[in-house]
Amino acid sequence: MIHYPAVVVIASLLGAFIAGILAWVQERYTYPAALIATGISCAAAVWDLIYVAGHGPIAYHMAGWAPPMGIEYRIDTLNAMVLVLITAIAFLNLAASWPNVKQEMPDRSPSFYVMYLLFVVGLTGVASTGDLFNLYVLIEITSLSSYTMIALGDRDRGPISALNYVFVGVIGASFYLLGVGYIYIKTGTLNMAEFAAMIPNIQDSTTILTAFILCIVGVFIKMALFPLHVWLPNAYSYAPVGFARIVAPLMTKVMVYVMVRLMITVFGLDYIFIKLHIADTIVWLGTIAILAGGVMALAQTNLKKMLAYIIVCEIGYMVGGAWLGNDSGITGAVLHILNDGIMTFALFLAVGNMVYKLDRVEIKDLKGLFAGMPWTMTGFVLAAFSIVGVPPTCGFFSKWYLILGAFEAGAWHFAAALLISSLICAVLFFKVFEVCFFESPDTHDGPGSDAHGHHTTVAIQEAPAISLAVLGIAGISLIVVGLYSKTIVVRLIWPLLNP
């Protein structure tokens, strides 16, 4: 039996345990322990992906208990891809954020690393499990660890933001749990595959409809779909950098994964698009989320907050895309999980580097940054272009599928929202670039008036090499993933839609 699916989750779990003990015994070993644990998770996830792409899905029975009694981990190409994304970002971020953690939390870094590993456990678990109730527990593990880590951030606002997140998060998870309860009433099973097999016979049941709506609403709350997004911007922008860098790219994306999983595997596309007539409404919700997220981002003066609202906007992309009801739309949504994960990661890496040097990232504080932090800014520009959707960065290709899907479905409003949001993002980022490019940090009274702009040379003050190296990796993968998107689509996404 292949044990890699379990290793992905358990490596981090054991790592958290060991790191916790080491924090008592010998504090300086917690970091290497965490790094090794996520490294092992990542290696196992890569192995999973290679195996699944070649041999088809793995059904792993936890501790040898067969379903429906035992918990099944089911790895197909979709979650293998998401797992690689999660573990790779977890590993790379841990490497990149070491200087930030040391700077921000000199006294509490061991607890940060332990919670970080638990967070990774939660995320990888959510992405691997094939059991509906287990999914709930893992979502809550993820959320609990993120509550604590957000509170570790900004001393004034961190705890309050975290508390608001707790309230919303609990409601979301509870809705989901309630939905699972109704599924159990009707079918007596919690295993996704088993439930999926029963669906065709109980399509007309109101119980199933209730269950579905409760589950989806719960997931919507957790993924911060507009207007259920209120908790997100504060939570993400007041979190410590080391955590913001992982929670921003992954948390919402993993919840989108859960939604896609519920749609494709659990309830089935036939049930959702043929039986139910709510798809149009939800595409509208996605459209509104895109536009609202973009407009609210325009109003921000803080870079982190701006990026947080862009996440709200991107959630609209994925929700709308998945509910278009055609292959292109779902392909776009799933591809965007991957792409948006990478580009948000790159953006927050760059922002983290800025925070490391500047402490505050109000947009007006970023004057002359192209000269001061050229490498960080290069990465930032690349990621920004990906968000805008400039080829050959990966953001373009998922947007391509999404717009194509919108055309196929005749959802013109959604296509228009996608295009408008690209333009809004262009405005947003060039607003930042202009401050970084035109204004020099010395002059406080606007741009240099010198006709030929013989600016005073700004000394280069870059972030630590390791942070830059990780940013470099993220930046390169933005382009590589973009150029190989057909491979990803054909090998990983289409097998899922047409088994």
Partner 1 sequence: MTELFMLIAAKYNYWLYIILMMIGLYAMIAKNNLMKKLVGMNIFQTAIILFYVSIGFKHNATIPIIMGDHGHGGHGAAIHAADYINPVPHVLMLTAIVVSVATFGVAMALCVRVYQRYHTLEEDELRMRLSEK
Partner 2 sequence: MELITSIKPVLAVLIPLAVIPVLVSSGGRPNVREAWAFIAGILSFTLVASMVPAVLDENRIGMTLFPIAPGADIALRVDALGMLFALVASSLYIITSMYSIGYMRGLNEHSQTRFVAFFALAISATIGAAFSANLLTLYLFYEILSLATYPLVTHHQDENSKVSGRKYLTFILGTSIGLVLPAMIWCYHATGTLEFSAAGIFESDLSTPSATVLLLMFVFGFAKAGIMPVHSWLPAAMVAPTPVSALLHAVAVVKVGVFSIVRVLTGIFGVELLSSLGLGGLVAFIASVTILVSSAIALSQDEFKRRLAYSTIGQLSYIVLGAALLSPKGMTGGILHITMHAFGKITLFFCAGAIFVATGKKYLSQMVGIGYRMPVTMTAFLIGSMSIIGLPPTGGFISKWYLVLGTLEGDQAVMLFVLLTSSLLNAAYFMPIFYKAFFCTQEEAMFERKFDEAPVMCVVPLVITALISFILFFAPQPFLNLSTLAVTGFTGG
| Interacting residue ranges for partner 1, rule: CB under 8 A | 133, 136-137, 140, 143-144, 147-148, 151, 155-157, 159-160, 162-163, 166-167, 170-171, 174, 177-178, 181, 184-185, 190
Please report whether residue 375 would count as binding partner 2 according to CB under 8 A: no
Rg from Cα positions in the chain: 22
Q: What are phi and psi of 350, to 5 degrees?
A: -65, -45
Q: Which stretch binds partner 2 (CB under 8 A): 183-191, 280-288, 404-412, 461-469?
A: 404-412
Instruction: Measure the CA–CA gap between 316 and 320, rounded to whole angstroms.
Output: 6
Residues in the chain: 499
Query: Least distance in Å: CB of 40 to partner 2?
Result: 32
Asked if 83 and 9 touch (Cβ cutoff 8 Å), the reply is: no
- Which C-beta is closer to partner 2: that of 114 or that of 417? 417
- Which C-beta is closer to partner 1: that of 151 or that of 315? 151
Closest to 57 in 3D by CA, of 121, 135, 8, 5: 5
Please report whether residue 244 would count as binding partner 2 according to CB under 8 A: no
- Which C-beta is closer to partner 1: that of 151 or that of 363? 151
Q: Which of 17, 29, 438, 494 binds partner 2 (CB under 8 A)?
A: 438
- Which C-beta is closer to partner 1: that of 165 or that of 348? 165
In sequence order, what E strands does 110-222 have?
A: none
Cis preceding linkage at 499, omega within 30: no
Q: 121: which 2 tokens?
A: 């456990």
Please report whether residue 80 would count as binding partner 2 according to CB under 8 A: no
Please report whether residue 447 would count as binding partner 2 according to CB under 8 A: yes
Q: Which partner in partner 2, partner 1, none is near 485 (CB below 5 to 8 A by kind)? A: partner 2
Please report whether residue 404 would count as binding partner 2 according to CB under 8 A: yes
Q: Which stretch binds partner 2 (CB under 8 A): 118-126, 173-181, 280-288, 450-458?
A: 450-458
Please give the biggest Cα pair distance in the chain.
77
Query: Least distance in Å: CB of 428 to partner 2?
Result: 12
Please report whether residue 408 would count as binding partner 2 according to CB under 8 A: yes
Q: Which stretch binds partner 2 (CB under 8 A): 47-55, 230-238, 293-301, 429-437?
A: 429-437
Which residues have CB under 8 Å from 403's CB, separation 6+? 332, 415, 418, 419
- Which C-beta is closer to partner 2: that of 188 or that of 374? 374
Please report whether residue 415 would count as binding partner 2 according to CB under 8 A: yes
Q: 298: which 2 tokens?
A: 């325009």
- Which C-beta is closer to partner 1: that of 46 or that of 163? 163
Closest to 344 in 3D by CA, of 300, 375, 297, 309: 309
CB atoms within 10 A of CB 437: 17
Asked if 85 and 341 touch (Cβ cutoff 8 Å), the reply is: yes
- Per DSSP bridges, beta strands 72-75 and 58-61 are antiparallel
Q: Residue 287 corresponds to which amino acid?
A: T
Please report whether residue 179 would count as binding partner 2 according to CB under 8 A: no
Asked if 335 and 485 touch (Cβ cutoff 8 Å), the reply is: yes
For partner 2, the binding residues (CB under 8 A) are 385, 388-392, 397, 400-401, 403-404, 407-408, 415, 419, 422-423, 426, 430, 434, 437-438, 446-455, 483-487, 489
